[in-house]
Amino acid sequence: MRAMQLDASSDFVVVVRPVPPLAEQRKLNSQHGFNASLSQSIPLNRDVRNKAGAECALVDYGDLSKLPDTSVVFVFCNEEQSVLYRSIHSVLNRSPPQLLREIILVDDGSSAAHLGDELDKYIATLPKVKLIRQNARTGLVEARLAGMRAAQAETVTVLDSHIEVQERWLEPLMSRMKGDETRVVIPIIDGMNAKTFKDDPGGIQLCGFLWSMVEHGIPLQHKDAAMIQSPCCDPQPSPVMAGGLFSINKNWFLNTLGGYDTGISFWGTENLEMSFRIWMCGGTLEMMPCSRVYHVFRTMGGKPYHVPGNTGVVNKLRTIYGWLGEKYAKYALSQLGPAALSTDYGDLSDVRRVQEKLQCKNFDWFMHNVYPDNVLIKSLGDAQYHGLIKAADPTSSKCLAFTRTSGASQPCKTKDTAIYSKQEFFLSKMGELRLANQLDDCIDFSSTQRRLSLNACGRYRPIASQEWIYSAGDQFLKHKSTGECLSPITGTVGKCDSSAKVEWDPIP
């Protein structure tokens, strides 16, 4: 393999990579979560359905030469070749030339043979496309940073390597970024099927997060619904982003915001870390509804790369300790399992320096101002009760706990450790009972199966099997629809007798 200088005017480094053994190549090539043979039969240049509504077509973005331009950065690791090529072609075909400065590919240590020489030769035939080879695989954070540093345009647009952009995808993004370096924007991500390569219903629009530290689709928040005049087309604030598709001002991100947390390796949670950083340190994150990009969501287990050992936990820990602060960290930490508490997550001094320099706001501010519809703020902020559910009988020191699959009776823990022992509960005004270390679910009692479980909560009001009432008078914690009582002594629901009497031991 030869080293090749792709663009004499820039400092791209093309590194020679070792070719992996054939068996490894074959294994990787057959494992990417996509129907590769079908993909290979689909033209690289093809029309895709435009999902933006008619109102978007009427938006006038003015003189495009007055908008910032962008360097598109694709990072990839062992991507299926035709899927990668179609991603590149869609950007070349559907971006106004004034807005697209270049496309930078960053090979994150791929071992698949089809991404070697063949790729070098192929992109040499395309306009505006450059390639950086990482010496060894680092993960998407370092790979994207390498692409961003090399970018020549004012803004950088990061895309996953298995996407197809739709008509007029770039104009809304660049138009929103004009004149304000602190605006980070994301498109609507439309689902494309990994087996058929046809568009799927659904995708990702606005995102919040679950306390297990993964992004989670949310509707437009109440605070924003009143502010937005044209839901078709106006920017919509998003607490976090899905991560694979966004545009950001290059200089502001790399030199003011400090870029990504490079302690986050391979894959995962960088999207939450970056979203918190943006909002808390002076930026905004908005979804532009007229900008739409298809993303091929892989079938389960189809990643063409391996994510080593405890990377996932370390990435989450860095995000939690970096940004959540003591008050909120415990809700996330308690979901990671006991081993996580003693896992080394490295040094956070880079994050602290940025927070100090930019006087970043704290997570309480984020929760109340950016993500007020979060369950912790919305339905639990004014919880009727919050604490341990203790047996009222003074001779018993039993508390209700919630093991992996059901309710249990356990010796009471101290207030500061109760969350880790699954003994900390919230009872909301609406009557939802939640376990503090699994806040996104509700405690459910099935009267037919006679057992407690944790299930998805009702969207607007409690589901009948999840509605509870506590009365301080008779000290019963009642399951509303059956009228039976939850007892810390049996750890389940049954007769409302004196042994079922409950006292809340409040946690402030």
Among 73, 75, 280, 427, binds ligand UDP (CB under 6 A): 75
Quick check: 108 binds ligand UDP (CB under 6 A)? yes
Which of ligand UDP, Mn ion, none has residue 267 at its interface (CB below 5 to 8 Å by kind)? ligand UDP
Q: How far apart are CA 332 and CA 31, in angstroms?
A: 32
Candidate ranges 134-142, 245-253, 308-316, 449-457; the one touching ligand UDP (CB under 6 A)? 134-142
Quick check: 190 binds Mn ion (CB under 5 A)? no
Quick check: 147 binds ligand UDP (CB under 6 A)? no
Question: Which residues contact residue 172 at a Cβ distance below 8 angstroms, ignoring those fewer than 6 apart?
Answer: 56, 59, 61, 185, 187, 233, 288, 289, 290, 291
Quickly tell me which residue has 């647009």 as its tokens. 157
Candidate ranges 46-54, 70-78, 319-327, 328-336; the one touching ligand UDP (CB under 6 A)? 70-78
Which of Mn ion, ligand UDP, none has residue 161 at its interface (CB below 5 to 8 Å by kind)? ligand UDP
DSSP calls for 220-280: PPHHHHTT-S-TTTS-EE-SB--SSSEEEEHHIIIIIS--S-TT--BSSSHHHHHHHHHHH
Candidate ranges 132-140, 432-440, 446-454, 491-499; the one touching ligand UDP (CB under 6 A)? 132-140
Among 132, 143, 241, 245, binds ligand UDP (CB under 6 A): 143
294 is written with which tokens? 């298809």
On whether the CB atoms of residues 290 and 59 are closer than 8 A, the answer is yes
Query: CB of 173: closest distance to Mn ion in angstroms?
Result: 18
Q: How far is CA 187 from CA 92, 114, 238, 285, 294, in A?
A: 17, 30, 11, 11, 10
Q: How far apart are CA 363 and CA 315, in angstroms?
A: 18
Q: How far apart are CA 131 and CA 2, in angstroms?
A: 14
- CA angle, corner 380, sides to 376 and 381, nearest 5? 85
Query: CB of 87: closest distance to ligand UDP in angstroms?
Result: 9
Which residue's C-beta sits nearest to ligand UDP?
A: 108
Quick check: 89 binds ligand UDP (CB under 6 A)? no
Among 80, 102, 154, 160, binds ligand UDP (CB under 6 A): 160
On whether the CB atoms of residues 459 and 466 are closer than 8 A, the answer is no
Return the DSSP state at 324. I
Quick check: 160 binds Mn ion (CB under 5 A)? yes
Among 161, 355, 379, 466, binds ligand UDP (CB under 6 A): 161
Query: CB of 297: closest distance to ligand UDP in angstroms?
Result: 7
Q: How far apart are CA 348 and CA 350, in angstroms?
A: 6
On whether the CB atoms of residues 59 and 233 are closer than 8 A, the answer is yes
Query: CB of 162: closest distance to Mn ion in angstroms?
Result: 6
* Burial class for 455, CB neighbours closer than 10 Å (0-12, 13-18, 19+): middle
Binders in 403-422 for Mn ion, by CB under 5 A = none
Query: CB of 8: closest distance to ligand UDP in angstroms?
Result: 26
Query: CB of 295: closest distance to Mn ion in angstroms?
Result: 6
Quick check: 267 binds ligand UDP (CB under 6 A)? yes
Nearer to ligand UDP, 77 or 375 (CB): 77
Nearer to ligand UDP, 187 or 244 (CB): 244
Q: Strand, helix or coil at 145?
A: helix
Nearer to ligand UDP, 67 or 194 (CB): 194
Nearer to ligand UDP, 146 or 496 (CB): 146
The number of residues that bind Mn ion (CB under 5 A) is: 2
Nearer to ligand UDP, 17 or 298 (CB): 298
Quick check: 139 binds ligand UDP (CB under 6 A)? yes
Quick check: 367 binds ligand UDP (CB under 6 A)? no
Quickly tell me which residue has 């306390």 as its tokens. 211
Q: Sheet containing 492-494: give its strands across.
A: 468-471, 476-479, 485-487, 492-494
Q: How far is CA 214 from CA 99, 244, 284, 344, in A?
A: 32, 14, 20, 20
Binders in 278-317 for ligand UDP, by CB under 6 A = 298, 303, 305
Nearer to Mn ion, 109 or 191 (CB): 191
Query: CB of 110: closest distance to ligand UDP in angstroms?
Result: 8
**What φ, ψ does residue 332 adopt, rounded to 5°?**
-85, -45
Among 61, 197, 252, 266, binds ligand UDP (CB under 6 A): 266
Query: CB of 73: closest distance to ligand UDP in angstroms?
Result: 10
In a 13 Å sphere around the CA of 202, the CA atoms on its Cβ side amount to: 5
Query: CB of 466: closest distance to ligand UDP in angstroms?
Result: 31
The Cβ of residue 135 has, within 10 Å, a number of other Cβ atoms equal to 10
Nearer to ligand UDP, 160 or 432 (CB): 160
Nearer to ligand UDP, 80 or 102 (CB): 80
Q: Which residues bind ligand UDP (CB under 6 A)?
A: 75-77, 79, 108, 137, 139-140, 143, 160-161, 244, 266-267, 298, 303, 305
Footprint on this chain of Mn ion (rule: CB under 5 A): 160, 244
